[in-house]
Structure 1
């Protein structure tokens, strides 16, 4: 009985170590847009969901901020949307740190990308970065956001 328990324990350890070694990479995309000095929004995108954070500041007298309103909207992707996000990421190699070495600048947006592969985490900050794959990703996300939640000052327009 002891040998059987010991055998099952060893097999369990080997199986769990194998799962840890084959851990799927995690990618987080953070998109920020500040179209005016009083309003801004950011979208955090993972393979499973996205979270929209909006900040609206109401100016008062003498250019002081009278009131700040912030909202948060989270959305979990369904199976088809998750496949679309994975497709955009894999086709455009958005989960590859080497992709971001060559930069093409455009004013107005900020991308922050966190790529986790096993125990290695790479944080990449891309102010004013223009990339077709990232544009496709943010356009896909903005078009999912319901009209009542969508920021009126969105940087990427949904057609």
Structure 2
């Protein structure tokens, strides 16, 4: 008996990559994914840094797998309804950033600006393709914003 079949893998990937359907919203799915990432950050901000980073790494790996499945199923390069990358990018931008409402808003706005503008090297990274290409540009975008937030804090 097979535990996983093609249909169950596709359904799992769809739930994860679209954040349980939020990515199908007609208005600004990337922004909705970023808002969901901010919500997860609000929940995780009081956990240890080690747990927080572990959670982000696991979500990145699962996101690569799920995004790759969705790209293959739909035949669309980096489908707009796949928003797990925005969630991970938002979480990365807040690693080791002390919570304040101002930092949360600044991180959100900076991440959206970086994600939408696809500043170098993000424009190059998104060309990689597949699940890794979908995830890595937002992960690096989150890292860029994290560095900016760290500079602001100091």
Q: How high is the TM-score relative to the length of structure 2?
A: 0.27
Q: Which has the higher helix share?
A: 2
Q: Which has the higher strand share?
A: 1
